[in-house]
Structure 1
Amino acid sequence: MSSEKERLTDTDEIDAAVVPADDVQGLGNTDEIGASAVLAGDAQHNSPRMQPVETLTDSDEIDATVILANGAHNDDVSTQPAAGEAQAVPELPGGIGQYRFLCNFAAGGVGQVGKARDLIFDRIVAVKKLNEKLRDNPRAVSAFFDECRLNARLDHPSIVPVYAMGKDESGHLEVMMKLVNGSSFAQFIRAARQTYDHKKISNRQERHALTSRLEYFLKVCEAVSYCHSRGIMHGDIKPANIMMGEFGEVYLMDWGSAQPLNIVLEHLSGTPNYLPPEFLRDRRTSTQVDVFALGMVLFEVVTLRRSGNGAVPDTAAASKSAQPSGPRNDVNDSDSYRHYLPELKIGKAIKAIIYKAIHPDPAQRYQSVSALASDVRHFIYDEEVSASPDGPVRKLFRIVYRNRIRTLLVLGALFAFLGGWLFYSYYRASEQERIHTRALTQQLRFQSYTDRQAAAVEKKFLLAQTQLLLFSDNLIEEMARPHEADAAFYDNEQYKSPETSPPGMQDSEYYPNPVNLRHMVRIPAERPEAVRLDLLGPRQFTQLCNKVIRYTLDSNKVSLLDRQFHAKLFDQNNLIQRLFIAWADGTRYSYPGTYQQTVFNDSIHSAWWKQLEHSADKQEISWSKPYRNNAGRILINCSYPLYSPRKEFLGFAGIELRVSKLFASVLQARRDDPVHEFYYVGRFHHVISFDTDGLSLTGRNGTLPDGVSVQPLVGFAERLRENHYRQFEAEFNGKRYHVDGALIPTSGGVLLQLIENKAFHSHRHPEE
């Protein structure tokens, strides 16, 4: 064993209690440590805090292990573990007459190692026993016995054999084991680094050296695979626990953390840097624990650098003790896969083997040590490894290399491959063209679906404009005729009280207050002295309103009087909420008759009146912003200026419309095919969103019902206008959408349609 001392930091071992460093005493500096391991833990120490374990001599090294907190291991480790507590230590004869003790040469936290001579076979053996302060501790003695007993059951060339166990002159346990003259794998790696520091190594030389190191690693894999076949998990595989003899022998040491497979431990034991995350979390023993540890060792073998997976136990005590005391190389970081010497390269295949061995997900890890060893052998012999399957070109190169005599056949195969590649290229180009054509067709279908919905909405807006013009023209005609004042006007205040309202009042879901379908409501001007004479009688006004309500674009035949004409206003497909006249002097007439808390809507009245004055100059139809009435329904109104035959401005005729009926087709499309999302962005940047439950109204700086800002939607509408309504892709509400839109000319708004990208290419849009 090398004379260099190696320290175990707080990341090296997990245990609930470790003897402090000042309890360790060195016993000599002239002899090397053999194969036996000493127990490094204090069964009487109950503190969860972990202390460093150190060797005490400059020339000797202790192969240390740990015991569980509060005593021995959970179960007696055997080929078939028995249920319950570990068996008691049997009575052993005092003294082993075959062996004569020579000297102690090293000590650890709770154990010491010495040498003895086998008098019968004339050989030097290793003697391992507990330190004086633990020799009378029942739990420590039981754990020591269990470890030696387990070691003795294992029969493998890479596992140090146990010769005998007995008691010394004081009646304390001691075990005789094979003495191995050599050094640890950790020292071997350090020696390789020192050699590289003083000698320039080429990549070819490093490849040969790596092959030699991997041969040692494979011997360790064989020993671990043997243990797994016996139902045992080692639990503390690391370079410091691997001994190398003078003639290439490899021994797996330190069985103090060994446990039966498929059990749940009460406490963790082992070295954090070499334990997988699931074991630190669940404490369940499995072959995957040793596979992970071997992967960490393989990382050091390949890179000649110290590994550190950054894993931290989930208990408070282990978390504190498992924190690295210095810089570590994270093997899960691709930058860590570099050699100790930066100029030396590490192959992709061996990187893949390491990463698969230490994969955080046990299901993605090697399922057995044999599988890991098999991949390492394949790498040594430059064969395909399962962790990094060869591509077609690499496979071809392997075939060429192994069949050098058949070069002509390989060349012929290569030409055949090139011909196939040309054919594949042509096929791929054709496939891309087909995909492009299919995508273009899908876009056209998407645009067609949007255009159909916009056309249906535009038809409703045109109908409303036609009804407004019909209303305006008939008002002018009726005012030129004499009328009979056979009915009284009812003012707004009269509708407020049931005692003064006209007969025939009834409730409706469309209006916040009771309405009257036989009478209109008059809202006098704010200045009574300016009230002009009635230009139209109540009866003529009511008949005219019903005529307009019954008008459709499909037929110009309108019946003025019908027994059912009043029910048309309550029809679920009717667009009109009310008809009104705003005379220039401020007097207003509105049908149906009902009490109005506000004149239209105070929040939009000022801006709306300015817009009316602008439209009066141009004699054009004016559309207001959408708004909610007192019943919570979304409405919009349009108006048209009135002039007498002598070109005198009389006022405005208007129609208030139900937005839900204007966009009834869009609402139905949203319910029938929820993949399509619809939004209407008006001229004033207000947004109407459509859902399966109905529609909602939001201003430019507002949010949708789900809390998402509408500003991106306003931006989509402006982008479509600028790009002549060309489709595009955009992010919205954390998702990637395909955006399309169509202009509704009458209102000046844009109907947006959005569909998620992942559904766009495969979705079948409804056909007409």
Structure 2
Amino acid sequence: LVQGKTLAHILAARQSPQDELPRLLTIFEHVCQTLSYTHSCGVIHLDIKPANVMVGAFGEVHLMDWGLARASAALCVPTSLRDGNATSPADENAAEKLPGISSLDLAVDVPAGMIWGTPPYMSPEQARGHCADVRSDVFGLGGILCEILTGCAPFRGTNFLDVCFKAAQADLGDTYLKLIDSGADGVLVRLAMKCLAPDPDARPTDAGMVASELTLYLESLLRRAESDLERFFELSLDLFCIAGLDGFFRRVNSNFSRVLGYSDKELLSRPFLEFVHPDDRDQTLNVMSQLQLGEPVVQFQNRYSAADGTWRYFEWTAKSVPKDHIIFAVARDVTDRMR
């Protein structure tokens, strides 16, 4: 039994589509990766929607409700082309690789004309009763991403038949406008619109391609965040450092050298207690004991020796991560204030 909240519940609880976007994109990435594996086994889910994604209390993500899932060979046409070659029919051991799915159910034929799926997220070919393949699942992924970015499913209407008609007609004009006006990153908007293309040939070939594009985007965000942090670390007027609970600086920004007159090498190669005024060392050791316990330090003052023989008063704010044995600290030079 999988416990947690469905993605549909999480999306409905938001105040705005911008809320929790990083978390939701991570959930979506997990869904794409799960579906990528499913497609590699020659199996199509056929009912991709937020209500079929369960998010556990610890962030685990499960793709649910495989009642409509079928082997590629059981559908009315082969699955999509990959790199110019037809993808393989269902893996003979697909049921073993996908726990909870019966090999007999996977083998049940889906005749042409049969309409399976959930209309607000259903691909146009499914809504028309035409042949479905892995790209129909890709459309469903686009539907999830669309709802993450805009708060709305791809197809909406006043009643069930109205939604079915819009899905069959691929009536996506309003959806595209909502995506464009969502304020979301253009990379995500373009990915959603590609997945929601009415023509299956215009969509990514399978969930693996969607997963790859999303992963590249998330990695670029991480690199950008690291670059911003680096810039902030160096451009700040305060003295930023990362230190170890072993009593050594691991990294200092350029302000340490500017204020104290030592090189980075000198600062990193000696225990930082050596720079502290002898009268302030016991207090500094007490503060280190607090940090070892994970207790934050605010507005602690001590004196550091400068290369010119003077003493500089520093006021510290620090937070430790005991399990990683590191301290993040910022100091302000308050020497002028103390005179």
User: Structure 1-normalised TM-score?
Assistant: 0.22
Higher relative contact order (CA 8 A, sep 6+): 2
**Bigger-Rg structure (1/2):** 1
Which structure: greater helix fraction? 2
